[in-house]
Chain A
Amino acid sequence: MTIREAKEAVHATVLVGEEHLDEEILAACGSDMMSDVLAFVKDQAMLVTGLCNPQVIRTAEMIDMKCVLFVRDKNPTEEMLELAREAGIVVMKTGHRMFMSCGLLYEKGLRGGSDYERFS
Chain B
Amino acid sequence: MSDSLEFKYDVDGEDFTRVGHASTDIKKKLKMIGIAPDIVRRVSIAIYEGEINMVIHAYGGEITVEISEDDIKMVLKDKGPGIPDIEKAMTAGYSTASENVRNLGFGAGMGLPNMKKYTDSIDIETEIGVGTTVTMHVHLT
Which A residues have a C-beta under 8 Å from some C-beta of B?
Answer: 32-36, 38-39, 41, 49, 51, 53-56, 58-59, 61-64, 79, 87
Contacts and interface: CB of A to CB of B under 8 A. Distances in A.
Interface in B1-58: 16-20, 23-24, 27, 37, 41, 44-45, 48-49, 52
A41 B106 contact: no
Nearest to A32: B105
A58 B20 contact: yes
Contacts of B81: none
A77 to B, nearest CB: 9
B113 interface: yes
B94 to A, nearest CB: 12
B114 A39 contact: yes
Given A51-B105, A54-B20, A55-B20, A35 B41 contact: no
A55 B104 contact: yes
B107 interface: yes
Given A51-B104, A62-B45, 11 more contacts: A39-B113, A51-B105, A54-B20, A55-B17, A55-B52, A55-B106, A59-B105, A62-B24, A62-B41, A63-B44, A79-B17
B111 interface: yes
Given A41-B45, A55-B20, A58-B20, A64 B37 contact: yes
B41 A38 contact: no
28 contacts: A32-B105, A33-B108, A34-B105, A34-B106, A35-B109, A35-B111, A36-B108, A36-B110, A38-B48, A41-B45, A51-B105, A54-B18, A55-B16, A55-B17, A55-B52, A56-B105, A58-B20, A58-B23, A58-B48, A59-B48, A59-B105, A62-B23, A62-B27, A62-B41, A63-B41, A63-B44, A64-B41, A87-B24
Nearest to B42: A41
